[in-house]
Amino acid sequence: MKKSPMIVLAGGNGYIGGTTAFALQEAGFVPVIIDNFSTSKKGAFNDFEVLEADLTDFSQTQRALKKIGPVAGLIHFAAKALVPESFEIPGLYYKNNLLSTANLAELSVELGIPIFLHSSSCAVYGVPKSVPISENSELHASSPYGDTKIMAEILLDRYRQMGKFKVLHLRYFNPAGAWPKYDWGEAHDPETHLIPNLILSAIKNQPVSLFGDQYSTPDGSCIRDFIHVVDLAEAHVKTLQMLLAGKAMPPCLNIGRGEGSSVLQVIQAAEKVLGKKIQVKKEPGRAGDPPELVADVTLMNKVLDWTPRKSLSNMIEDDWTWRSSTVK
């Protein structure tokens, strides 16, 4: 009987990593989580092997990964990923995000892991010259966090060019939503992302912050391309399946819906879904926030033969279902 492929999820205890672990299991893979649990509590992964290691520590990570095998592929989710915070502690972002990537790349070579799927970000594009943004757009980050993602892509591309392993960068746009089936959602303290904060605002009857209303957009608020985290996880599964099947793949793919929603439009959508008015507190715009980020998903649709299924309303509904049962 053929063994199910084992996939290592570095940083797999986080929001996106955990969701992807469940999606991989449903697709017949064997997920193995490796995480230092610095930004997330140990999740309820009763069916998965969980390894604890600081990914910036080569020896510690090496010891952990040598306990398992053989590994069919590795997905690197682990990163500090808050744009405003990256301006406050840039050195820690460079150290954490790049050292973990370099360590995992070297260990992939040492342990013969043939596929390296990298969680990249639309932050690599900075303030784009045109929208929607294609994968061929200039990489010009507007934050230290975005810098680290560009540098990680360059580092991994060098390994790919040397024939060490297959590499594909998935450039996420704005993940949102939850997976109530597995009691899994976005849990940060403090929470910085829009949809979770809208739900928290509704639960606690507190105002939500609107960061900037003078951008060069139709209603003055930032425009983002939101994708349901379950759809994002499915994109990882499809990408892995194609790489394992030996299909020719591009070096990077945008992962979004190709539809932009302004912050004010998302607030209105949340009010409609939740059936209540949300208080808004206007704040100055944040450093590193481009006015508009919307993916050109033409290549994603073609290469993966796939389109995200869930709407913005689904993201709000699922976050509400999950968060309203967890927030005291």
User: Active-site positions?
Assistant: 145
Residue 182 contacts by C-beta under 8 Å, 6 or more apart in sequence?
Answer: 18, 19, 22
Q: Name the H helices within the chain.
A: 15-26, 58-65, 83-88, 90-111, 144-161, 194-204, 229-244, 263-274, 298-304, 312-326
Could you please report the per-residue DSSP string of 184-211?
B----SS--SHHHHHHHHHHHT-PEEEE
Q: How many CB atoms lie within 10 A of CB 163?
A: 7
Residue 165: its H or E element: none
Closest Cα partner for 96 from 86, 106, 87, 88? 86
Edge-first strand listing for the sheet containing 252-255: 49-52, 30-35, 6-10, 73-76, 115-121, 166-172, 252-255
Closest Cα partner for 210 from 288, 283, 286, 316? 283
